[in-house]
Structure 1
């Protein structure tokens, strides 16, 4: 790492997430582009069934924060990142709640978009966070990666 650590905010939280907090964390006077992704709990399953979802609960492995840092460090090393932030909810969430917020600031928009996309995709694929969905018909399922 250089003297300037671009990783400004990483967290798993049981409390509601804040888009303004994440945007403030990545604020940088050298940034010409900031890309933000906010994932919310939708009212239906994203798979083929499209079943009505009434609530979600996210659980994280004890290593999840360390894995989140590893993902963030790799993104910061692979892209010209000035600032990066990622927060994910754990615990019970309702339809419409923010589940994850990531943001990346770079000197140019193309890099910000690419780094942000990599950050959310790698977070979903590699950080051990699991989703337990409850459906309107009373059934439920575990999903192996966060949404």
Structure 2
């Protein structure tokens, strides 16, 4: 599904840099009093181990899973968009964005938190971390 106001997909797995403004423009209208955006970035550690590199891989149908999560929280007044990046990401790069527009902030914050939690729990995306000691390992499906 694509946003009528911006032409941006409302849920996408992408292999290039993610811009939070794309998700925001996909959902925001003049009727909204709130626009909440969650931006997840690649951090430099995991469980107290220094991370030097990270790669995300996704199931071929991961975009369908992502769209189902977003659709579950959309209503007439609440709009949701999300993008998750795959491929090699550097420390500090954006991995995932969720944007929620709603008439009021309470709904926007609540829905945004629920969407990112559900993405982490249900969308088949895996990360492969490389550590400063040269070792590397797959992590469980997560964002």
Aligned counterpart, 2:71: 73
How much has 1:8 moved relative to structure 2?
Answer: 5.6
Structure 2 Cα separation of the partners of residues 122 and 15 of structure 1 = 23
Say what the alpha-carbon RMSD is for the aligned residues.
Answer: 1.7
Structure 2 unmatched ranges of 5 or more: none
How much has 1:27 moved relative to structure 2?
Answer: 1.5
Are 1:84 and 2:80 an aligned pair? yes
Aligned counterpart, 1:26: 27
Structure 1 unmatched ranges of 5 or more: none
Aligned counterpart, 2:120: 124
Are 1:145 and 2:132 an aligned pair? no
Matched residue pairs, number? Answer: 137
Check conservation: 1:10, 1:86, Cα contact below 8 A.
yes
Task: Flag the 1:59–1:8 CA change in 2: closer, same or farther, 3 A.
Answer: closer
Give the secondary-structure state (helix, strand or coil) at the position aligned to 2:45. coil
How much has 1:146 moved relative to structure 2?
Answer: 2.2
Residues 7-22 of structure 1 correspond to what in structure 2 (within 5 A)?
A: 9-22=10-23
Give the secondary-structure state (helix, strand or coil) at the position aligned to 1:95. coil
Check conservation: 1:57, 1:90, Cα contact below 8 A.
yes
What TM-score do you get using the length of structure 1 for normalisation? 0.87
Aligned counterpart, 1:108: 104
Deviation track 1:30-55 (CA, whole Å, cap 9, x = no partner) reads 1111110000000111x3xx100011
Aligned counterpart, 2:54: 56
